[in-house]
Amino acid sequence: MKKRHESPDIDWAHIPFGYIKTDYNVRCAYTNGEWGEIAVSDSETVDLHIAATSLHYGQEIFEGQKAFRGVDGKIRIFRPEENAKRIIESAKGLNMVPLPAERFVEMMEMVVRLNERFVPPYESGSSFYLRPLEIGTTARVGVRAADDYLFILFGTPVGPYFPDGFKPTKVVIYREYDRAAPCGTGRWKVGGNYAGGLVATMRAKREGYSAVLFLDPKEKKYIDECGAANFFAIKGNKYITPKSNCILPSITNMSMQQIARDMGLEVECRPIPPKELREVDEAAECGTAAVASPISEVYDSDNDVHYVIAKDGKPGPVTTAIYEKLRAIQYGREPDVYGWMHEVKL
C-alpha cells in the first residue's frame, strides 16, 4: 500500500480528543484455527455478521496507546509491549483467542508508518492515538465463545488533553453504581465495563464532575478507580494507589510509580478508604489520554462529605513533577533510561 505524503490540513495544536479520519488501518483475522496475514485497509467500516458474538455477548476487548513525534523528529510509541501483554490477558478473560505480542507490535508500527502524515508535529503538544481492538465474529446465537476473531488497529491524531493547561477537576462517589464485579471483568480492558459505567459517568458529568470515583464493589470501603483511569494520591513522601482485583492495571500508573520511586518517594499499593482523602496532599487520575489529571475535590454524595484536596485549585507539585517527567520522556526531551520508547523506523 502506498504511503501518502502531503500534509493534511489540520490545526495541530487545536484538535480535540476525538476522531479524525486517517489514510489506513490494519486488520488481522483469526479463522480455521490461525491468524492470517495483516491486511491494510482504507475503509473505516467493518462488514460484520448480524449474529457475531461481539454484537450479542460482548466479546470485545481494546487497548489505547500513543505515538509521539519527539523533539528530534523521530516517532516513538510508548511501551507497546505492555499493551500487547495486557490485551492478551483481556482476551483470555473473555475466552477469546489472543493475538501474539509480536504481531500486535508489528501492527502498531504499521499504522504509524502508513499514517505518518497524521502524527502531529512535536511543537503542537498533540500526539497520535492508537486504538487496537478485537471482536468475536462467528455467527452464533447460543452462548458460546466465537471460533473466529477480527483484530483491528487504527490511529487518530489527538490534541493535548489540557488545551488550557493542566487543571484540577472534581470527581464524585456514588455507592449505587459499580463498574465491575470482584472476580469479574474489571481487570481487563473490555468495552462492556465502560457500558456498565455510563449511567454513573453521564450523571457525574451532568452534576458538574469530570468522573465517577468508583469504590470497591464488594464492601464499598475502598477507592477503586475512575471509569477510564487509575487513581493515585501523594501523602507526605508516599505515592499511594489502590490495590484491587476490579482495577485495570494502568501502564501510565505503573510508569509513574517508577518515576516516583526515582524521585525518592515510597510507593504503596494498598486499599485506600475514602476517609484517608482527608490526609492526602494531592490526588489525581492517570491514564494514557491525560497522563495525569489532578483532582481538586472528591465529593462523597452518599454521606454529603466534600474532601477538598487542592485548596488553592492548583495542581500539586509532586503530581506536576511526575507528569512533566513522563511527558518529557515521551517527547524525547529526557533520556529514556527505562527503555519505554519504541522507535518506529520510517
Residues making contact with ligand PLP (CB under 6 A):
64, 189, 225, 228-230, 248, 250-253, 287-288
Nearer to ligand PLP, 140 or 160 (CB): 160
Residue 118 to residue 49: CA distance in whole angstroms: 31
Residue 16 to residue 161: CA distance in whole angstroms: 8
Nearer to ligand PLP, 30 or 239 (CB): 239
Nearest distance from C-beta of residue 154 to ligand PLP, angstroms: 17
Nearer to ligand PLP, 101 or 305 (CB): 101
Q: What is the CA radius of gyration of the chain?
A: 20
Nearer to ligand PLP, 120 or 196 (CB): 196
- Strand segments (E) across 105-237: 127-136, 149-158, 169-173, 211-215, 223-226, 230-235
Nearest distance from C-beta of residue 55 to ligand PLP, angstroms: 21
Nearest distance from C-beta of residue 339 to ligand PLP, angstroms: 17
Q: What is residue 82's three-state secondary structure?
A: helix
Nearest distance from C-beta of residue 285 to ligand PLP, angstroms: 8
Task: Yes or no: say if 267 and 239 are a contact pair by the CB < 8 Å rule.
Answer: yes
Nearer to ligand PLP, 225 or 282 (CB): 225
Nearest distance from C-beta of residue 137 to ligand PLP, angstroms: 23
Nearer to ligand PLP, 114 or 234 (CB): 234
Nearest distance from C-beta of residue 327 to ligand PLP, angstroms: 14
Nearest distance from C-beta of residue 286 to ligand PLP, angstroms: 6
Q: What is residue 119's three-state secondary structure?
A: coil
Residue 161 to residue 172: CA distance in whole angstroms: 20
Task: Yes or no: say if 112 and 77 are a contact pair by the CB < 8 Å rule.
Answer: yes
Nearer to ligand PLP, 148 or 184 (CB): 184
* Own/partner long-range contacts of 199-207 (Cβ < 8 Å, ≥24 apart): 200/174, 200/227, 201/227, 203/174, 204/171, 204/172, 204/174, 207/172
Task: Yes or no: say if 235 and 281 are a contact pair by the CB < 8 Å rule.
Answer: yes
Helix axes 80-93, 251-262, angle to 10 degrees: 130
Residue 207 to residue 18: CA distance in whole angstroms: 23
Nearest distance from C-beta of residue 61 to ligand PLP, angstroms: 10
Nearer to ligand PLP, 213 or 344 (CB): 213
Cα–Cα distances in Å, from 85 out to 8, 50, 91, 139?
33, 30, 10, 28
